[in-house]
Structure 1
């Protein structure tokens, strides 16, 4: 009887801990969303633009987190899928009169197809070999974009009009673009959260933790690896489309291999496998380079690298892991 009571107490404690964690997540998410809705009405246009770009990078990092943090695959070419989404939207808007909302699913679908195509050969690769293949994608994309000048605008790129807010909203252009980016970000995070709670999420985590054990349990490694690449690319393509809306200009030099490396660094700093990791990583990617530029105009890259090293020394599991440890130390009422 004593053992049964102890087991019941342990089970009750586990359920209570899970409920407390869920309450924390819901409360933090609601507070963050409320702050996000309130922010553009209190900030100057430049700061609203910065927050809009944070949302764009957060969606791109969400896709990269799905691939690296949850599926355990490596990618040094995520910026290429971001560029594909951006150029798909730009070409559609520059040519025929395509409505802005239509460009989002088309850009996401094109990036998904490209990710699926590269995911098939990537199934047989892992580790450094997979990293080199994805890096090659980012390297050859820029000269490819410059070569097809009649479609992509070549080195000069394409200039596009930005979406204008409907009159009934009463919003300024920067606020309208911000809320478009916020809507895409919220939908993307909700989609990924639902995916990770499903059977697919459990399969991805099994794949990440131990491929051999996952295969024994019936997980189809090739299918889930390929789909992880495709879903990751789809989110990057959606982020690239919103980037085109916000910036109103695309050029090959905006999507060099440095973008892919910066995105991966931002995700690692934000926290691999954590839902908050992409948001924290996006804040890092957006604001830290400007801080580095202000600290040393001659060598901002050096300052940026040193800041990455400092953050990883203080928080080896990323900023999300550091925040989780700090919250865990807060005393709670029994």
Structure 2
């Protein structure tokens, strides 16, 4: 068995045991970490691998959450069907939004997605659809219980549900990046003219990537709605989109594992900053961000990769160089 398989088996065992040894609140926090990791993974596919900057992914996160809440609360749909529906809605909207956005690049695309993130909370408060969205009051959900009579608490069941979805999401993203589609996306990011000359349809690949990224955000929003048991317009402000972008930068751009590190950062660092200073928690948060940018320019994933490579280099036995014979 290889070292990678051993490490994966150990992580799997830890993930299974974790909800039985932690308190309910810690289990809730770890569940939110997995939810954030799914959203960050989708944004990293778009920004890190495709090179399209998005400041509005919090909008797709909110659309996924509201779609799930409306289907469950208003239509009585089981959450097992509501989550795939939310993913499909966000994938279609992301693909359609990506079509006109292809005319924009760089900061102009970022501004267009920024507008999407700003306008969504106002749309959710609109009186014309208040019957469905709940207006400023939002929608309250009931935490689902474990099915089939499983001896699990509600928090533990949600933990395992999010763990299963996150595992599948990361496996799909890994296969996507390593496959022909991923190589085409990376080629478009690095050399779009050369990729187009090689026969790659840049417009179609960019739209598909936008749709996949939005689908990941919608899945994360659906799971967040079930975990938090509430959706409201102010929960999906532009600060959510900025926080997601911060997460992929700190975790590591164009890395799969960086989504996990970024999720840990955006989940726990703000709470730690609030504990350090009640008066100015955002100042502490900003100082930590600046420190991360200086110490880890490639993100946490890049730092861990560099340290691992250096440790492996030192652990390898050095072969003695035989003395050269004099002519």
Q: Quickly name the TM-score band, shorter chain normalised.
A: over 0.9
What's the RMSD between the two structures over aligned residues?
A: 1.4
2:159 pairs with 1:155: no
Q: 1:92/1:179 Cα in 2 relative to 1: closer, same or farther (>3 Å)?
A: same
**d(CA) in 2 for partners of 1:157, 1:76:** 24
Q: Which position in structure 2 is the counterpart of 1:135?
A: 114
**d(CA) in 1 for partners of 2:131, 2:4:** 49
How many residue pairs are counted as aligned between the two chains?
313
Partner residue of 1:274 out of 249, 255, 267: 255
Q: SS state of the match for residue 290, structure 1? A: helix
2:96 pairs with 1:117: yes
Structure 1 residues 109-154: Cα deviation after superposition (integer angstroms, max 9, x where no partner): 0000110111001111101100000000000000000102111000
Q: CA deviation at 1:25?
A: 4.5
**2:74, 2:132 within 8 Å by CA — same for their partners in 1?**
no
Q: How does 1:70-109 map to 2 (within 5 A)?
A: 70-109=49-88
2:298 pairs with 1:317: yes
Q: CA deviation at 1:29?
A: 3.4
**d(CA) in 2 for partners of 1:241, 1:28:** 30
Q: How does 1:164-203 map to 2 (within 5 A)?
A: 164-166=145-147, 168-203=149-184
2:228 pairs with 1:247: yes
Structure 1 residues 208-252: Cα deviation after superposition (integer angstroms, max 9, x where no partner): 111112112221110011011000000000010001111111000
**d(CA) in 2 for partners of 1:25, 1:304:** 34
More displaced, 239-248 or 25-34? 25-34
4+ residue runs of structure 1 moved beyond 6 angstroms? none
Partner residue of 1:43 out of 22, 33, 52: 22
Partner residue of 2:245 out of 251, 261, 264: 264
TM-score using structure 1 length: 0.91
Q: CA deviation at 1:30?
A: 3.2
**d(CA) in 1 for partners of 2:3, 2:285:** 32
**d(CA) in 2 for partners of 1:30, 1:134:** 39
Q: CA deviation at 1:28?
A: 3.7
Q: Which position in structure 2 is the counterpart of 1:329?
A: 310
Q: SS state of the match for residue 138, structure 1? A: helix
Q: CA deviation at 1:24?
A: 5.2
Q: Which position in structure 1 is the counterpart of 2:321?
A: none
TM-score using structure 2 length: 0.93
Q: Which position in structure 2 is the counterpart of 1:30?
A: 9
Q: 1:28/1:316 Cα in 2 relative to 1: closer, same or farther (>3 Å)?
A: farther
- Could you tell me which runs of 5 or more consecutive residues in structure 1 were left unpaired when the two chains were aligned: 1-21
